[in-house]
Chains A and B, each alone.
Chain A
Amino acid sequence: MAVSPGPAGSRIPALARTRVGVLQVLVLALLLTLGARLWYLQVRSGPEFQQAAAANDLRTVATAAVRGSILDDQGRALVTNHTTLQVAVDLSTLMHQPAQGRAVLERLAGVLGVPASQLEQRSRLCSSAVSQPCWTGTPYQPIPVAQDVPAPVAIKLMEERDQFPGIVVGPAADRSYPEPYGVRAAQVLGYLSPVNPDELSEPNSPYQPTDMVGRSGLEQTYDAQLRGHSGVQEVSVDNLGRAVRTVSSTPPVPGDDLVTTLDARVQAVAEQQLAAAIDNARKGWDKNSQHSYRADSGAVVVVDVNTGGIVAMATYPSYDPTVWSGGISPSVYAHLTDPGAGTPLLDRAYQGQFAPGSTFKIVTTSAMLQDGFPAHGTYDCSPDFAIGSQDFHNFEGEAYGPITLKQTIEVSCDTVFYRAAYDMWLRDGGNRPVAHPADPVQTMALAYGLGKATGIDLPGEAPGDVQTRQEKMATWQKMKGAWCTRAKTGYPEVAGSDPTRAAYLKQIAYENCLDGWQFRGGDAVLEAIGQGGILVTPLQLARAYAALANGGTLYQPHLEKAILSPDGKVVSTFQPKVTGHVPISPSTRSFLIDAFQGVAQAGTASGVYGGWPLNQIPVGAKTGTADVYGKQATSVFASFLPANHPQYAIAMMVSQGGQGAITSGPAVEKIEEALYGVQGGAIVPNAAMLRNPPANLPVINPDGTLAVPASAAFDLSGATGPNPSVADAAFHVTGMPNAGPGPAPLPLFLPERRYADLLRTGALA
């Protein structure tokens, strides 16, 4: 059979064959195009797409770590965690409901008994347009909207799950405050709030979106140790956000525990005695102001003189730290920051600055003795001392004639110190100072650690003030413009209500304008008795007496004793830090210790220690009553004991509290009674709370439970709580702690199992 070899004669047009050939080329071209495009996408731009694809399907879900506890020196928990039933909103599910789940939230609000608007506010996401209250974390994390939900409510929510799509009920960890012996220590412990977006966006931010961050007190200082590390799970999700598989998983590492030097029992006594002292002071009548004492605020500090460890630190007004549990309410937070309520958020013990009054004489006497004033000479205790036209009086015009220096301290005769300070000032050249004035009192004050922050391990410490020549000059240069204007214009805004005060202020402005730079005799004299340019915090005062008591070593005050891992291993122990030495000779020291014992035995504090076995436990003490212009006197008391072998130094200050020996002294003595078990003038060894701070660390079992030493029963009944309604504060405050969190929900903690459940049910997306 023959085969046609060519197109001619076929019914196929030649054109058709050509065009099939064209078609063939076209096919080839199109396939090559596809191949080229494939190469472009996969090889040329491959890395770009790989990144985009990775971001497309990866979600990071944080599992909060269990935060460490804060323990006292015996291992009693001051802050720990407890499990609460928490209701959280899973936005990714809720947003798929009709009207973005508004109806669901309204139903939930009805069940929880809160306004729906509150739930909406708490579950909305923060953005530039949406400010607090809102959720700062990631929308892939269920957002807690209610804590401590009663079990029946939780069960209802779980049973009627179809009615509550996107609502997640489960256990969560929250901060709790066991308050052993009624201890509050709220300001020392501090509080937490959710991590904010700025902190999250910092480079190398240690935070996860679910983290709670310490915002004040020990929670802030030791945040890194307490917080632990959140677990991070990278989950590969599908197009509906359902987890397909876990790409990487870092389990949460629980935070370490902080063992503090605080002793819960002593702290409880200190808090109660402070509150009681303030209550008592308010019953007293102030002749000068013709008003009962306002006693608006105060603090007491008990420090271990040999280490600088803080055994107790109480402040007034205070508050109950449990207000932070489950999220603080806006009204409570407003109260805590309200100056009208005394700003209870502040810790006066290290953030309140008060004039120390005669307790400052520890500095002046040290300066005198080191400057060559004879320790055993006689000094003239006249009723007053004049510099030019200005008269400086003794307290209530007392006069004892020629007395020894020890007696001077015992009776706290101001005129002796005026005269000594004036002499020193004259030796420095008076109003025409020498090139390098010695300024013995101011120099000694700085050496005692006053006028600058002590470095305590708490945030926002107030530095106090010791006004020196240099400081006066600097202040004058800054202020002279304003002073000189005021010297001319006066104070018309004050004159309307108080012409006397306006005239006084104008005079001061005039003098300041003229020679406000000058360190005058009057300045030197007033500072010598702890007034005028001297401001101290109770903590600084306690440390100054501790330095004297321990032989002149200035320790950095601290609350940290040790860091323990969750299974009880010691991570680190705090080693006492020496920050300086007070330049006093042993004879000066022994003179002062003897003199302060004299104060307790026969001097201004003898009334305080009337019922104290001074022969068994000798005590050194000094009273102070500082005049503050425009306010009632500040009550100050400083003490150390045992004087022969010092262990503790205690300082207490009460703004507008009257005399040191009447308001503060007895409270300090009560704390000392508790420390040493003094009852009715006799020592009851079993009643002693803390003769010495424990040398060892509390033992924590490997399973994390505390092996708390058995504690002696101590009756704290009858102690009164503080009254938060106080008049305006009479102290200088610096270093406000970080702005609080407002009414934000408190911590979210999803235990692993719960998290797994969420993944399984697909609720977590």
Chain B
Amino acid sequence: MIIGEKAGLPPVVTAPAPYGNRLTAAARSASGRGGALRRFDWPLFGSAVALSLYGALLVWSATRARSQLTGGDPQYFLKRHLLNLVVGVILAIAVSALDHKRLRALTPIVYIFALLGLLAVLSPLGSTVNGARSWIELGAGFSIQPAEFAKVGVVTAVAMTLSARSPVRRGADLRAPLRTTTTHERTPGGEVPTARQIGLALVAAAVPMGFIALLPDLGTTMVIVATVLGMVVVSGARLRALVLLTVLAGAGVAAVVKLHLLAAHQVNRFAAFADPNLDPQGVGYNTHQARMAIGAGGLFGQGLFQGAQTNGQFVPEQQTDFVFTVVGEELGLVGGLLMIALFGVLLWRACGIARAATEPFPLLLAAGVVGWFTFQTFENIGMTMGIMPVAGIPLPFVSYGGSSMFANFIAVGLLENVRLRSTR
């Protein structure tokens, strides 16, 4: 590896001693296979696996009694969730092992496959669940949700677009993007994405986002908006670009509302959010029952498998989008805080990886994953507690769902990849 060969440059003034040790260790590990294992971010990976196992328990609790879903096998969802976890871990390891060049080379392919998947789900191949045409049935009980993989596609594509060297500097050298890691432009302020790059990034994000919005999958659309905004901000874009972007986003939201582009159930979700006591048997049923389940948990919860609301199946979609209500009711504040803490570890480590990145692309990649996970986690847990409007998105790692699990672990793989190859 040839990262950061500028030994003669002044060191970071504030870098503490242990950090220096770690850097030495990192430098050593970069050359050997044993070093890769040591560089591997175990807390990050561990918290992701822990969240998935935690989720397995909760999914089990939520689905044990739902025989119309499980087909009589109370452990059906538990087994499937664990299987998803195993596949996810394999995917994460595979992605983290990818050569850096290959990762960049793969980005357009991932992006194009994501677009194709979304087109497929919009075509008659897709099947509709809960008013959204989000799934492609593969048969034998398997189905995929291309919108989940689209997040990976968007994050990588936007990261690549924003980090690409300015065409002016590259001249007409078409191979330049592939050479970026070996080309060292040492501008003291680093590279700031140009307006054109930002525009390209937005287009790259907007195309799949548009497809997702058509499904309609408002939740995933919101996740992508938040993620891309975060990436643009982190990319170092100038303030006026950000202001312009904010204005554009505001205008877009206003247009969507004014033109009644949202489906009725989506409007209702926002209405139920604005007025928590709205129609507890109808529009506000989900949020009402979810808050009741969490509130009934108290400090220590009613015990795993003991939740009355959970056993009574009062909360819809409890094994997927509303899985947090299970931990809230059955394991209480202690269990809920433990879960939030696990997310804290995961996101903190991911932020650390982003900060340690030596190149714009891996930095943006890591920051994109952080934005994605953060928004999705906050939105999901927030909606079950009534501080965010209801949107149909799963809680990363915890919720039941193969596509989500796979996409999340691919993202973890991306973070590990950055950690192994592109940090100091």
Q: Which residues of A contact B (CB under 8 A)?
A: 1-17, 19-21, 23-24, 26-28, 30-31, 33-35, 37-39, 41-43, 45-46, 48-50, 52-54, 56-57, 236-240, 244-245
Given the known interface contacts A30-B378, A35-B337, the answer about A8 and B188 at a Cβ–Cβ threshold of 8 Å is: yes
- Contact partner of A38 (CB less than 8 A), chosen from B190, B313, B340, B367, is B340
Q: Which of A12, A39, A50 has the most CB of B within 10 A?
A: A12
- Contact partner of B191 (CB less than 8 A), chosen from A11, A24, A31, is A11
Q: How far is the CB of B47 from chain A (nearest CB, A)?
A: 13
What CA separation (Å) do A39 and B359 show in the bound complex? 40
Interface pairs A-B: 10 shortest CB-CB: A49-B295, A4-B4, A2-B7, A13-B190, A5-B11, A13-B236, A53-B296, A24-B351, A16-B236, A9-B186
Given the known interface contacts A2-B6, A10-B4, A23-B351, the answer about A16 and B190 at a Cβ–Cβ threshold of 8 Å is: yes
Given the known interface contacts A2-B6, A5-B9, A16-B234, the answer about A238 and B314 at a Cβ–Cβ threshold of 8 Å is: yes
B365 sits at the interface (CB 8 A): no
Given the known interface contacts A14-B189, A42-B336, the answer about A9 and B297 at a Cβ–Cβ threshold of 8 Å is: no
Q: Please count the residue pairs between chain A and chain B whose beta carbons lie under 8 angstroms apart in the complex.
A: 223
B409 sits at the interface (CB 8 A): no
Given the known interface contacts A6-B11, A11-B359, A28-B344, the answer about A23 and B30 at a Cβ–Cβ threshold of 8 Å is: no
What CA separation (Å) do A24 and B355 show in the bound complex? 9
Contact A14 B190 (CB under 8 A): yes
Q: Which of A6, A39, A52 has the most CB of B within 10 A?
A: A6
List, in ascending order, chain B residues with CB within 8 A of A56's CB.
289, 292, 308-309, 312, 314
Q: How far is the CB of B380 from chain A (nearest CB, A)?
A: 10
Contact A38 B309 (CB under 8 A): no
Closest A residue to B238 using CB positions:
A15
List, in ascending order, chain B residues with CB within 8 A of A37's CB.
382, 385, 387
Given the known interface contacts A3-B26, A42-B336, the answer about A31 and B1 at a Cβ–Cβ threshold of 8 Å is: no
Given the known interface contacts A38-B294, A56-B314, A239-B313, the answer about A23 and B359 at a Cβ–Cβ threshold of 8 Å is: no
Contact B10 A6 (CB under 8 A): yes
What CA separation (Å) do A189 and B330 show in the bound complex? 56
B132 sits at the interface (CB 8 A): no
Q: How far is the CB of B298 from chain A (nearest CB, A)?
A: 5
Q: A5-B15, A46-B299, A54-B296 are in contact. List 16 more A-B contacts (CB 8 A).
A: A1-B27, A5-B9, A5-B11, A7-B12, A9-B188, A11-B180, A11-B360, A13-B235, A24-B348, A24-B352, A31-B343, A35-B340, A38-B328, A42-B297, A43-B298, A56-B314
What CA separation (Å) do A41 and B347 show in the bound complex? 24
Contact A7 B343 (CB under 8 A): no
What CA separation (Å) do A31 and B354 show in the bound complex? 19
What CA separation (Å) do A20 and B234 show in the bound complex? 6
List, in ascending order, chain B residues with CB within 8 A of A14's CB.
189-190, 236
What CA separation (Å) do A238 and B352 show in the bound complex? 45
Contact A42 B333 (CB under 8 A): yes
What CA separation (Å) do A13 and B332 show in the bound complex? 44
B424 sits at the interface (CB 8 A): yes
List, in ascending order, chain B residues with CB within 8 A of A2's CB.
4-7
Contact A33 B387 (CB under 8 A): yes
**14 residue pairs A–B, Cβ–Cβ below 8 Å:** A3-B7, A4-B6, A5-B424, A12-B190, A12-B360, A19-B233, A31-B347, A41-B385, A42-B298, A46-B296, A50-B295, A237-B312, A238-B311, A239-B289
List, in ascending order, chain A residues with CB within 8 A of B374's CB.
23, 26-27, 30
What CA separation (Å) do A20 and B350 show in the bound complex? 10
What CA separation (Å) do A18 and B32 show in the bound complex? 32
Given the known interface contacts A10-B4, A24-B348, the answer about A53 and B358 at a Cβ–Cβ threshold of 8 Å is: no
List, in ascending order, chain A residues with CB within 8 A of B311's CB.
236, 238, 244-245
List residues 71-128 of chain B with CB under 8 A from any CB of chain A: none
B130 sits at the interface (CB 8 A): no
List residues 354-412 of chain B with CB under 8 A from any CB of chain A: 354-355, 357-360, 363, 367, 370-371, 374, 377-378, 381-382, 385-387
Contact A1 B31 (CB under 8 A): yes
List, in ascending order, chain B residues with CB within 8 A of A3's CB.
3-4, 7, 23-24, 26-27, 424
List residues 159-209 of chain B with CB under 8 A from any CB of chain A: 180, 184-192
B43 sits at the interface (CB 8 A): no
What CA separation (Å) do A56 and B9 show in the bound complex? 67
Contact B190 A11 (CB under 8 A): yes
Q: Which residues of B contact A (CB under 8 A)?
A: 1, 3-7, 9-12, 15, 23-24, 26-27, 30-31, 65, 180, 184-192, 230, 233-236, 289, 291-299, 308-309, 311-314, 316, 328, 332-333, 336-337, 340, 343-344, 347-348, 351-352, 354-355, 357-360, 363, 367, 370-371, 374, 377-378, 381-382, 385-387, 424
- Contact partner of A23 (CB less than 8 A), chosen from B186, B188, B344, B354, is B354
Given the known interface contacts A20-B351, A38-B328, A238-B313, the answer about A7 and B190 at a Cβ–Cβ threshold of 8 Å is: yes
List, in ascending order, chain A residues with CB within 8 A of B191's CB.
11-13
List, in ascending order, chain A residues with CB within 8 A of B230's CB.
23
What CA separation (Å) do A42 and B333 show in the bound complex? 6
Contact A43 B293 (CB under 8 A): no
Closest B residue to A21 using CB positions:
B355
What CA separation (Å) do A38 and B24 show in the bound complex? 41
List, in ascending order, chain B residues with CB within 8 A of A43's CB.
298-299, 333
What CA separation (Å) do A43 and B191 show in the bound complex? 49
What CA separation (Å) do A8 and B188 show in the bound complex? 5
List, in ascending order, chain B residues with CB within 8 A of A20's CB.
234, 351, 354-355, 363, 367
Q: How far is the CB of A49 from chain B (nearest CB, A)?
A: 2
Given the known interface contacts A1-B1, A3-B7, A11-B185, the answer about A34 and B295 at a Cβ–Cβ threshold of 8 Å is: no
Contact B236 A57 (CB under 8 A): no
Given the known interface contacts A23-B354, A38-B385, A42-B328, the answer about A57 and B190 at a Cβ–Cβ threshold of 8 Å is: no
Q: Which of B10, B31, B291, B295 has the most CB of A within 10 A?
A: B295
Given the known interface contacts A20-B351, A27-B370, A53-B293, the answer about A15 and B192 at a Cβ–Cβ threshold of 8 Å is: yes
Q: How far is the CB of A661 from chain B (nearest CB, A)?
A: 76
Contact B363 A46 (CB under 8 A): no
List, in ascending order, chain A residues with CB within 8 A of B187's CB.
11
What CA separation (Å) do A19 and B364 show in the bound complex? 11
Given the known interface contacts A8-B10, A24-B355, A53-B308, the answer about A19 and B234 at a Cβ–Cβ threshold of 8 Å is: yes
List, in ascending order, chain B residues with CB within 8 A of A41's CB.
291, 294-295, 328, 385-386
What CA separation (Å) do A1 and B2 show in the bound complex? 8
List, in ascending order, chain B residues with CB within 8 A of A53's CB.
292-293, 295-296, 308-309
Contact B192 A13 (CB under 8 A): yes
Given the known interface contacts A4-B3, A12-B357, the answer about A42 and B188 at a Cβ–Cβ threshold of 8 Å is: no
